[in-house]
Amino acid sequence: KAGVTQTPRYLIKTRGQQVTLSCSPISGHRSVSWYQQTPGQGLQFLFEYFSETQRNKGNFPGRFSGRQFSNSRSEMNVSTLELGDSALYLCASSLGLAGINEQFFGPGTRLTVL
């Protein structure tokens, strides 16, 4: 069974641009969660999607948004990029809701904002 895949693996953008990251969950998984990982703040929850609905959202500005498609694939978008958005963005999928089901993580997308 294929694991969670994330594309692209690496991305370099400049301030003010926008970016879209993609996540393909494990086949059959309906929940996709997104996390931001930085050296200073550690792993912070961005949002969770389950059956195309956003179920929960972390404490991030509205520049961060996401969506989930009917095949459970998910995208997250960051608009008007800031230097502080440089981070590893991790996607995780689970059969059911995150927090009460085992989450499987992808390798992440490393975003660098110049």
Contact positions vs another protein (CB under 8 A) = 4, 33, 35, 41-45, 48, 50, 55-56, 58, 90, 92, 97-100, 102-108
For the CB of residue 86, give the shortest distance to another protein in the complex, in Å.
16
Please state, in angstroms and rounded to a whole number, the distance separating the CA atoms of residues 18 and 39: 22
Token pair recorded at residue 104: 């499987």
Q: Where are the alpha helices (DSSP H) in 24-63?
A: none
Measured over all CA atoms, what is the biggest interatomic distance in the chain, rounded to whole angstroms? 38
Q: Which is nearer to another protein, 16 or 49 (CB)?
A: 49
At 10 the three-state DSSP class reads strand
- Written as six digits, the tokens of 51 are 């059956």
Q: How far is the CB of 40 from another protein (least distance, A)?
A: 9
Instruction: Provide, rounded to whole angstroms, the least separation between the CB of residue 107 and another protein.
Output: 5
Is the Cβ of residue 54 or residue 80 nearer to another protein in the bound state? 54
Q: Rank residues 13 and 55 by Cβ distance to another protein and give the closer one.
A: 55
